[in-house]
Structure 1
Amino acid sequence: MRIGVHPLNLHLRLAQGWPGLFPETFTFVPYPEGRDTGTLISARQFQAGGTGSTPPLISQAEGLSVVYVAASAPRPANGALLVAPEAAVQSLADLKGRRVALIDGSFHTYLLARSLDQAGLGLADVTRVELSPAASRLALIRGEVDVWIAMAPQIESAIGAGEARLLALCGSTIPNRSVFWTLADAGLSDTEIRDFVARLIRLGEEIAADPDRAAQILAGPGAKPESLAQWRRVVAGRDWTILPADPTLIAEQQAEADTLTRHGDFDRALQISAFLAA
């Protein structure tokens, strides 16, 4: 079984480096960009992957047959809208006409849409600026954007350095799960998928039991003490539980699809229904 791994999916980065959990029958295939997951599965580069909630919806909107297999627990602290410390933006209502740095087409887009909903605004009321996390941070510091949609550990780092302040945290705005998915024609049997999910569930349990090991893997070899400490806080602040795909996940994906359709990002309504039951 070939599993795609991109840098922002921490579960699969840990799966790749966790000793003894995934046998040689699993091959981990690195790739740089989670939004390409559906395209690369369709091209037979790998057979399953893990992303935020939005990429599988985009793949379905493009005509691919997405099958959800598992999801993480919600991650309320892993996404935030940040502004410069002295910015005029004080509330979500102040976002109208602002420039927002984000990874568009990731969960950032959904977080932004739901945040704008709270202020009676839409995605068309802001200018989305596609930038990497590092470039987004620099653009905020330079005043080139008004808002940065950031993730851990950059949220803590930027606020701690006095470069940003918190406007809104994911919190209850969106579930912000990692979702693990494949395509109906990817060549995986139900048995293979269930074995993959079972190992992901065990991974979550082992991370909770040994957070120091997880932090060391994420920080990388030769990491500086401050980087290791930062990753320890990230690991400690997250619920690493993995759950098989179920109707709750499908309902959440449907709510997101409906939201993004209402905001004009999808040109047709999506019906989310395909998942592999436990």
Structure 2
Amino acid sequence: MTTRVGFFPQNNSLWVLRHRGILERSLPDVAWVNLRDLESGERVDPRLGLPSLHGDHLFDGGYDFIGTGATPPITAQGKGHDIVYVAISEPRHENGRLVTLRGNGITSPGDLRGRRVGLGHGSWQTTLVLLALEKAGLTWKDIEPVDVYDDAARRFLDGEFDVWVGSYPYLREVEAEAELHDLVATETLFTHRSLWFTGREWAAAHPGELRAIVEALQEADRWTEAHPREAAELFPGQTAEAWEHALVTRPWGLHPVSAEFVAEQQRAADLYFASGLIDREIRVADAVVPEINDIVQQSRN
């Protein structure tokens, strides 16, 4: 049976895995699904601006396994999908932050009221903005979110929005052209981890395939950590130098889902519900399976 794995550049581990041929050694029948090819531009939820690639294709047969940031599994559970977390990375605070142009009068999250905030809506960036707003005593309704993706850096420099959730390698372009002010330290808001998840039914029916994917990802991460420049040359859209900077400043390796992470995700999920960005309250702990945690822990030994 074919195992369908979704991948895109922002999940660095899966991108490298796709291009190194590691998984095929243990799972010869792998179908790689480029998530950018699944994005039609039609938004499935106008409140989130959430592209279909971030959740629904896991349940309509598009793919079986995916890696993202913190937000997509929350929105998937919020839509009633029965997902299970597979693994998490270590914290990767250095990957991105909430910035503005220095000298424009915006100096803290409290200044966000009424401002246009550029972000990849429905990604981890939505979670960061919600947490920053909460810290300032503001809500989602106090800002004007601007949904931006590949051209975000240029649009920020062109003044289309006041504040931007920038991430590497795209922040490198902006840092080279403008003096930035960080509105809040990312590590004071959340751990900003990569994570991987799947559907409960698929995980229960394919434990061997799941184990093979986890072990292959661990191998891909070890290779990337040891060969960042070579890995950087696999990525599109930015220079190899920019991608190398992004790769060497983040942690590598998959870890079991921790109680700390579950609590952090639950706090974010509660904010999504309170803000009207998901329709139902969810319990993040329902998506944690001890047997899958065991598989991830064994892959680290």
- The letter of the residue matching 2:30 is F
Say yes or no: does 1:239 pair with 2:251: yes
The one of 203, 210, 216 equivalent to 1:193 is: 210
Alignment partner, residue 209 of structure 1: 226
1:37 shift after superposition: 3.4
Give the match's secondary structure for 1:46: coil
Alignment partner, residue 18 of structure 2: 16
Map 1:43-192 to 2 at 5 A: 43-134=60-151, 136-162=152-178, 164-186=180-202, 188-192=205-209
Q: Deviations over 1:85-116 (max 9, x none)?
A: 33221111111110111111111111001111
Alignment partner, residue 274 of structure 1: 287
Q: Percent identity?
A: 29
1:171 shift after superposition: 2.3
Contact 1:133 1:150 (8 Å CA) reproduced: no
Q: Counterparts of 1:259 and 1:111 in 2: how far apart (Å)?
A: 11
Gaps of 5+ in 2: 40-50, 295-301
Once the two structures are overlaid, the 10-residue window that deviates more, 61-70 or 241-250, is: 241-250
Once the two structures are overlaid, the 10-residue window that deviates more, 58-67 or 251-260, is: 251-260
Alignment partner, residue 55 of structure 2: 38
Give the match's secondary structure for 2:287: coil
Equivalent pairs, count: 272
- The letter of the residue matching 1:173 is L
1:237 shift after superposition: 0.8
- The letter of the residue matching 1:30 is N
1:232 shift after superposition: 1.8
- The letter of the residue matching 1:10 is N
Q: Counterparts of 1:246 and 1:208 in 2: how far apart (Å)?
A: 23
Give the match's secondary structure for 1:77: helix
Give the structure with the higher percent helix: 2
Q: Residue 143 and residue 216 in structure 1: after superposition, are their counterparts in 2 closer, same or farther (change >3 A)?
A: closer
Contact 2:157 2:174 (8 Å CA) reproduced: no
Q: Counterparts of 2:22 and 2:125 in 1: how far apart (Å)?
A: 34
Map 1:217-256 to 2 at 5 A: 217-218=234-235, 227-256=239-268
1:73 shift after superposition: 1.5
Q: Counterparts of 2:177 and 2:142 in 1: how far apart (Å)?
A: 30
1:263 shift after superposition: 3.0
Q: Deviations over 1:54-78 (max 9, x none)?
A: 1111111111101111112111011
- The letter of the residue matching 2:33 is V
Compute the TM-score of the two structures, normalised by the length of structure 2: 0.83
Contact 1:41 1:183 (8 Å CA) reproduced: yes
The one of 33, 38, 44 equivalent to 1:29 is: 33
Give the match's secondary structure for 1:128: strand
Gaps of 5+ in 1: none
